[in-house]
C-alpha cells in the first residue's frame, strides 16, 4: 500500500487587506517528512507546484525531516538539499523548523536540538534558504517573523527526565511574551510563520498586528481529497485526526479570518499524509490525502478585483 500521497493539490487562498500594499503571492509548503519512505515523487510535486504557482516568496512550514536522525543519513540529506534548492532557485525562500526536525519521535521521546539545529542552519545557508528562529526577514513587499517553538511548547517532561509528546499553548505564550509586535509598519505585508498552530486568545491578541499567520503540522486533519473541498464550502476547517493525536480537531486546514483579532490564518496540510502521528490503522491510508501546497494571493484595497 502507498506510503505517501499520489496526487498534488494547489490550494489558492485570496487575502484582501484594507490598506494599500504591493500584491504578492506566497507559497506555503512543508511537512515533507523526508525519510526512506518518502520517494522522489515529492520533489516532482514540488517542482510542478512552483511552475504552476509562480510564487513571489516561498515559506517552508517545518517538519522538513521525519526525524533529526535523518540528518545523518546520506540519502535523506541529499533529498533535503535538493528540495531546498528547488525552492530557493524559484523564489526567495524562508523556513521555520517543526518538532520532527529536532525531536526524535520515539517513546520515550528524545530531544536532539543541539545536534540538529546547527546542521539546519548550515544546510539552509548553503542552499540559500533563510532559516528563521524567532527572527525577522525583510523582502520586497513583505516582512516575515519566523517562530521557533521549542520543546517546552511541544513536550511534557516527566519526573524521570523523559519527555512525552504534549502540545502546550500556554508554554508558547510564555516563549513569545517578551516580543513586541504592537507597532508593525503598514508599508509592507506583515506575516507570522510557525509550525504548530498553538494560538490561544492571549496569543491571538498579541499577534493581531500581523496581516497573515501561517502554520503547518496538522496534515490537514487527515481529510481525503475531495472531502476537504466539501468541508470548505460550509466553512468547516476541522479534520478527522490531529497530529497531536486527537480525534476531530478544529481549525486544521484551509484559510479563514479570525473574528476577534482580524488576522488571516492559513494552515497548510503538507506534502505527506498521517505518517506516525496517527494510530497505525490510519498510517496505511496516507494515499487518500493529496500532497498539498498553499498559494496565498495577498492584495490591498487599491488592487484590481
For the chain, domain boundaries: 8-299
Q: Is the pLDDT at 111 greater than 50, yes or no?
A: yes
For the segment 7-22, the average pLDDT, to the nearest whole number, is 92
**Model pLDDT, residue 82:** 97
Q: Is the pLDDT at 157 greater than 50, yes or no?
A: yes
Is the bond leading into 108 cis (omega within 30 degrees of zero)?
A: yes
Q: Is the pLDDT at 189 greater than 70, yes or no?
A: yes
Reported as a pLDDT band with limits 50, 70 and 90, residue 81 is: very high
Mean pLDDT, the chain, integer: 88
For the segment 15-43, the average pLDDT, to the nearest whole number, is 92
Distance between alpha carbon 261 and the CA centroid of its chain, in Å? 21
Angle at alpha carbon of residue 28, lines to 112 and 34, rounded to 5°: 40
Q: Is the pLDDT at 62 greater than 50, yes or no?
A: yes
**Model pLDDT, residue 283:** 57
Cβ contact 8:290 at 8 Å = yes
Provide the CATH topology of domain 8-299: Purple Acid Phosphatase; chain A, domain 2 (3.60.21)
Q: Return the bridge partners of 294, or none.
A: 11, 28
Question: How far is the C-alpha of 146 from the C-alpha of 94, rounded, in Å?
Answer: 8
For the segment 191-206, the average pLDDT, to the nearest whole number, is 89
More confident residue, 230 or 256: 256
Reported as a pLDDT band with limits 50, 70 and 90, residue 129 is: very high
Closest residue by Cα to residue 148 from 126, 165, 162, 131: 131
Query: Does the predicted TM-score (pTM) go above 0.75?
Result: yes
Q: Is the pLDDT at 133 greater than 80, yes or no?
A: yes
Question: How far is the C-alpha of 45 from the C-alpha of 10, rounded, in Å?
Answer: 10
- Enumerate residues 6+ apart whose C-beta is below 8 A from 150: 113, 175
pLDDT over 90, % of the chain: 57
**Model pLDDT, residue 305:** 53
Amino acid at each position: 500500500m502507498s506510503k505517501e500521497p499520489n496526487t498534488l493539490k494547489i490550494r489558492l487562498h485570496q487575502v484582501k487587506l484594507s490598506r494599500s500594499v504591493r500584491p504578492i503571492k506566497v507559497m506555503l509548503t512543508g511537512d515533507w517528512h523526508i525519510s526512506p519512505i518518502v520517494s522522489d515523487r515529492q520533489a516532482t510535486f514540488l517542482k510542478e507546484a512552483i511552475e504552476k504557482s509562480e510564487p513571489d516568496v516561498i515559506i517552508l512550514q517545518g517538519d522538513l525531516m521525519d526525524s533529526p536522525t535523518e540528518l545523518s543519513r546520506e540519502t535523506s540529506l541529499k533529498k533535503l538539499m535538493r528540495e531546498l534548492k528547488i525552492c530557493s532557485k524559484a523564489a526567495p525562500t524562508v523556513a521555520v523548523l517543526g518538532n520532527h526536525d529536532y525531536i526524535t519521535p520515539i517513546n520515550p521521546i528524545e530531544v536532539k536540538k543541539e545536534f540538529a539545529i546547527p546542521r539546519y542552519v548550515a544546510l539552509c545557508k548553503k542552499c540559500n534558504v533563510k532559516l528563521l528562529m524567532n527572527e525577522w526577514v525583510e523582502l520586497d513587499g513583505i516582512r516575515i517573523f519566523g517562530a521557533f517553538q521549542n520543546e517546552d511548547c511541544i513536550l511534557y517532561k516527566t519526573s524521570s527526565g523523559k519527555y512525552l509528546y504534549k502540545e502546550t499553548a500556554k508554554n508558547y505564550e510564555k516563549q513569545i511574551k517578551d516580543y513586541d509586535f504592537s507597532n508593525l509598519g503598514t508599508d509592507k505585508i506583515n506575516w507570522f510563520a510557525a509550525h504548530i498552530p498553538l494560538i490561544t486568545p492571549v496569543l491571538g491578541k498579541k499577534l493581531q498586528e500581523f496581516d497573515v499567520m501561517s502554520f503547518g503540522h496538522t496534515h490537514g486533519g487527515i481529510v481525503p481529497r475531495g472531502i476537504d473541498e466539501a468541508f470548505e464550502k460550509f466553512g468547516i476547517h476541522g479534520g478527522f485526526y490531529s497530529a497531536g493525536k486527537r480525534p476531530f480537531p478544529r481549525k486544521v486546514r484551509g484559510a479563514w479570518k479570525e473574528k476577534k483579532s482580524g488576522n488571516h490564518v492559513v494552515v497548510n496540510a503538507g506534502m505527506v499524509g498521517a505518517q506516525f502521528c496517527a494510530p497505525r490503522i490510519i498510517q496505511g491510508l496516507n494515499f487518500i490525502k493529496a500532497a498539498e501546497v498553499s498559494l496565498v494571493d495577498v492584495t490591498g484595497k487599491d488592487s484590481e478585483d
